[in-house]
Amino acid sequence: VTTAKGSSAVVSLGKLGRVEVLPESSVKLSFNETGMTGMLDQGRVRVSSSSGVSAVVTTKDGSAVADSAQPNVFTVDIECGNTLVATQSGRVELRAGNAVKQIAAGNQDTAGQATPGTRCTRFTQPEMRGIGGGALAALLLAAGGAVAAAIIAATQDNDFNFGDDVIVISPSR
């Protein structure tokens, strides 16, 4: 499965799970009734596997092997020339040479050396989308003022004192 810039592909494998091939990536997938394997040649893939299913993604640096005793979601990224494995849920082992690194949910680890001059986007900050900081502060202040006004109105007895000479303008004729 190969994807172009700005496109992705999702391969749904039923009860086994699914593999999302992210933009500008290439992976060779194979599967049977007990598991799935992938050979990542370029880019990134995100794998979701069910419990009882083996899921392995191999790169030039090593293999990401999901814990088949539990459901797993993990990403394997080789954009920078090395292998980065990030586990979103479950537990994954990164096996490289004689080293085995356990990567629990919310963590990541690498194998190999990053290559200078690659199209590495791993460390670029995504552009800020949505509301900016100043607009957010103004919105929160306005909401706080509205809440304060509602509290004051609810706790007062609507007895206004304007002084001796009050002119009331009525909209009716």
Report the CATH fold assignment for 9-111: Jelly Rolls (2.60.120)
Q: How many CB atoms lie within 10 A of CB 25?
A: 24
For residue range 45-88, what is the model confidence (pLDDT) as tens digits? 999 999 999 999 999 999 999 999 999 999 999 988 899 999 99
For the chain, domain boundaries: 9-111
Report CA 136 to chain centroid distance, whole Å. Answer: 23
If you search the block for the tokens 């979103």, which residue do you land on?
A: 88
Q: Which of 11-15, 142-146, 149-153 has the highest mean pLDDT?
A: 11-15
Q: Can you give the pTM of this predicted structure?
A: 0.68
pLDDT of residue 157: 66
Helix then strand then coil, in percent of the chain rounded to 5, is 15, 40, 45
